[in-house]
Amino acid sequence: EGMAVPAGVLSPQEVCLEWQYRQGAGAGLYNLGQTCFLNSVLQCLTYTPLLANYLLSGAHSRWCQQQGFCMMCTMEEHIRKVLLSSVSAVHPRPFVNILKRIGKQFQCNRQEDAHEFLCHMLLAMQRACLTGSSNWHEECKVTPSVTAPWLSFCLCLPVTCLNCGTVSDCYEAFLDVPLDIRGASSVSAALQDLVQLEQLDGANCIRCRRCDTVAAASKRFTIQDVPQVLTLCLKRFDVTGRKICKHVEFPLHLDLRPYMCQTWAEPCLYSLYAVLVHRGGSCASGHYFCYIKASTGQWYQMDDSSVKPCSVGTVLQQSAYLLFYVR
């Protein structure tokens, strides 16, 4: 079940986790008709330091051999326009025109879920990085792109048979950490709930391969990898699309060590750099905007074409949907 621990990571070069230059916020993004979900995700990715450093260096476009559309080349051109041009706002038309390439379910002039769009953006970037490597999964068995060490990781799920004590480790790949906030008032409480030991008994008993019995067991999620960029998704929408609107506290600085596998001994520190917010009552309506930290350290509210400086106190008061941290 699950997946094996990756044998390696595909990466063309080392990238810098900190900004390599200092400037305030760049351009806003025009709303082209219910594209706020797209705009907010693009801004959070644009202000991801190591992604911006990598694409602004031109390292991808220099070796890219993809014919026609390339998600990474499109993102590189977009980041250059936003961060390096002097205009107040740019049109995200290139992304609107390729919505179906990013995800077949996305439609123009329709509100989409920002978290779903983010996941498909990252997968499209991964596919772009694997041009000419269609058989990577059979041949290499490695983490599937240069974006993977930045934005994805594995959750480890050790299951312990309470009859014989056998421990079976399973691994599942995630692009972000999904946090159930129904019973949590803070991100730290939600993370603690995620890694809480859970008993499997009654109808949930397992069949142990070693002692060949149906037995009670225990399981506990832990974070296996140390991603360079950590995305937390606060699960605000239930299966019907209704929203959990309560405020959940989140920190400027986060130590991931208490939620990782026990072999990780040193602190694993992250710093907040972007917050994506949804305003409204359901995932099919409302409005998305975000807050980002520029390379100068100043926070800004990015609301489509509007770009306004704000205080860190304002940021921490938001009812966040997605939180972005960097090591």
Q: What is the DSSP letter of 74?
A: H
> Alpha helices, DSSP H only, in the chain?
36-46, 49-56, 59-63, 71-84, 93-97, 99-102, 114-129, 136-139, 148-151, 187-194, 312-316
CA dihedral 307, 124, 259, 311 (to 10 degrees): 0
How is residue 321 written in tokens?
Answer: 């949907």
Residue in 36, 156, 268, 283 annotated catalytic: 36
Residue in 91, 140, 170, 287 annotated catalytic: 287
Identify any residues that bridge with 293 across adjacent strands, giving them in sequence order.
299
Question: Alpha-carbon distance 277 to 247, whole Å?
Answer: 11
Question: Alpha-carbon distance 275 to 51, whole Å?
Answer: 17
Asked if 94 and 77 count as a contact pair (C-beta separation under 8 A), the reply is: yes
DSSP string, 147-199: THHHH-EEEEEEEEETTT--EEEEEEEESSEEE--TT-SBHHHHHHHHT--EE
Please report how the helices 49-56 and 71-84 are oriented relative to each other, as an axis angle in degrees rounded to 10. 100
Question: Alpha-carbon distance 115 to 79, whole Å?
Answer: 20
Question: Alpha-carbon distance 205 to 317, whole Å?
Answer: 43
| 287 catalytic per annotation | yes
What end-to-end distance do the CA atoms of the chain give, in Å? 30
| 36 catalytic per annotation | yes
Place of tokens 């792109």: 145
Asked if 134 and 140 count as a contact pair (C-beta separation under 8 A), the reply is: no
Q: Which long-range contacts (CB under 8 A, 24 or more apart) does 163-166 make?
A: 163/208, 163/211, 163/213, 163/215, 163/216, 164/208, 164/210, 164/211, 164/215, 166/208, 166/209, 166/210, 166/211
Catalytic positions: 36, 287
